Amino acid sequence: MYKYDVMSAKAEEFINHEEIMETLSYAEAHKDDVKLIDEIIEKAKLRKGLSHREASVLLACEIPEKIQEVYDLARQIKKDFYGNRIVMFAPLYLSNYCVNSCVYCPYHIKNKHISRKKLTQDDVRREVIALQDMGHKRLAIEAGEDPVNNPIEYILECINTIYSIKHKNGAIRRVNVNIAATTVENYRKLKEAGIGTYILFQETYHKESYEKLHPAGPKHNYAYHTEAMDRAMEGGIDDVGLGVLFGLELYKYEFAGLLMHAEHLEAAKGVGPHTISVPRIKRADDIDPSVFDNGISDDIFAKLCACIRVAVPYTGMIISTRESKEVREKVIGLGVSQISGASRTSVGGYDQPEEEDDNSAQFDVSDTRTLDEVINWLMRIGYIPSFCTACYREGRTGDRFMTLLKAGQIQNCCHPNALMTLKEYIEDYASEDTKRIGEELIQKELLNIPNPVVRAKATEYIENIHTGQRDFRF
């Protein structure tokens, strides 16, 4: 039997089933304990985070006033740490060849009717130009696991191609990578290729379910998958992104597992996760989400996001176009800091939008708006869309990024960077209406830069962007 140990290198010890079960019993037993809940909320107000046990009590609590307090705190933490900025990105699907058999994913090896595709370097070029022409600066590349069709060399070649393309004023300045768990050596190669965050969704932290949901293929190995972030960090990648595919297992179990994973990385590696993603299962070719028993309502989903926000205030939270405009609007307020826009989940979908007979997509997207529509909407509901990639390019990754955050310098750094990248978007890609709203917003928000020297510099840079210069950053 495994014993819980946050420092252990063993998956079953840092994500310990018995510890999760005890946590869930503890949370259930204390869900009406107002005194304890108040103490936990007070602790969360210190903005230093909560343990998986404490946060699980908040998630279990069903007292409306207390839930409201958690929501209010999540909103406040979001404001203090991330301001009203929302970072934009797009996924880029490189290949849907896959040797795994994940039962929720249309790429599974037994799916014989999905059209299998893999981008050539010329295809990558066309996709990236299409993405640059929309205004994207940050990508998350995605691929199935297939050592023959998508070996690490292929992924590295694609990353090189992506960074090399400069079309008009466009550029992809940060490539995040979402590929299957791999070796320390391969993580080192990804680091050398200049990736931003390495993202890998755990799918489920419940080992028994994990093994059933991944009945064959390399992904079947729970320990190898769960220990991937440790190997990534050993390979020099210090920004890692966690995630759970909600709907597979009980959400309270996943929530405790997710926080234990974050605690483990912080304790054993000195840096917690850079981001947490919160995908929910969607319909896809050969996949009917209703066969999974653990789907969660939009309300529970919002509660989960708020609890993650107060439990790990320093971790960015990502939401994709799997969610509708309405759900996105709700959870952006509760703590989400990064969203995708105008995503295509098919291989080659940006340059050649899906044809009738193309079923290569990974899942159906709910938010189908153009990037301009998303940017326009964000500004109308009070946010600053940001295309900033400065931290990564200035080497502010891992604990160096956290230092900036903890020193409260975000408003003198991320805020002007967001405005300058928004200005680039407006100059190069925006519709007339978006341009008008954006110009007003930038002028208004420049005044919210506290340091007068930074404010003056940012104002000057923004004028320079208007006269044709690009790529300023603090």
Neighbours of 400 (CB within 10 A): 14
Neighbours of 157 (CB within 10 A): 14
Q: How far is the CB of 248 from ligand SAM (least distance, A)?
A: 9
Which residue of 36, 201, 207, 269 would you call a contact of ligand SAM, by CB under 6 A?
201
Q: How far is the CB of 423 from ligand SAM (least distance, A)?
A: 32
Q: Does 362 bind ligand SAM (CB under 6 A)?
A: yes
Calpha distance 328→10 (Å, rounded) = 36
217: exposed, middle or buried (C-beta count within 10 Å: 0-12, 13-18, 19+)? middle
Residue whose CB is less far from ligand SAM, 43 or 116: 116
Q: How far is the CB of 102 from ligand SAM (least distance, A)?
A: 6
Q: Does 282 bind ligand SAM (CB under 6 A)?
A: yes
The span of 154-162, 279-287, 368-376, 385-393 binding ligand SAM (CB under 6 A) equals: 279-287
Q: Does 266 bind ligand SAM (CB under 6 A)?
A: no
Residue whose CB is less far from ligand SAM, 145 or 427: 145
Q: Does 276 bind ligand SAM (CB under 6 A)?
A: no
Which residue of 284, 307, 332, 430 would you call a contact of ligand SAM, by CB under 6 A?
284
Q: What is the DSSP string of 22-64?
A: HHHHHHHHTTT-HHHHHHHHHHHHTTS---HHHHHHHHH---H
Q: Does 363 bind ligand SAM (CB under 6 A)?
A: yes
Q: Does 281 bind ligand SAM (CB under 6 A)?
A: yes
**Torsion (CA) 90, 129, 344, 147 in degrees, nearest 10:** -90
Is there a contact between 279 and 317 (Cβ–Cβ < 8 Å)?
Answer: no
What single-letter DSSP state applies at residue 87?
E
Q: Does 178 bind ligand SAM (CB under 6 A)?
A: yes
Residue whose CB is less far from ligand SAM, 91 or 272: 91
| Residue 3 Rama label (left phi>0; alpha psi -120 to 50; beta) | beta
Two structure tokens written together for 17: 């089933």
Q: What is the DSSP string of 262-286?
A: HHHIIIIIS---SEEE--B---BTT
Which residue of 44, 57, 105, 232 would you call a contact of ligand SAM, by CB under 6 A?
105
Residue whose CB is less far from ligand SAM, 32 or 288: 288
Q: Does 231 bind ligand SAM (CB under 6 A)?
A: no
Question: Which residues bind to ligand SAM, rule: CB under 6 A?
Answer: 104-105, 142, 144-145, 178-180, 200-201, 203, 219, 245, 279, 281-282, 284, 287, 322, 362-363
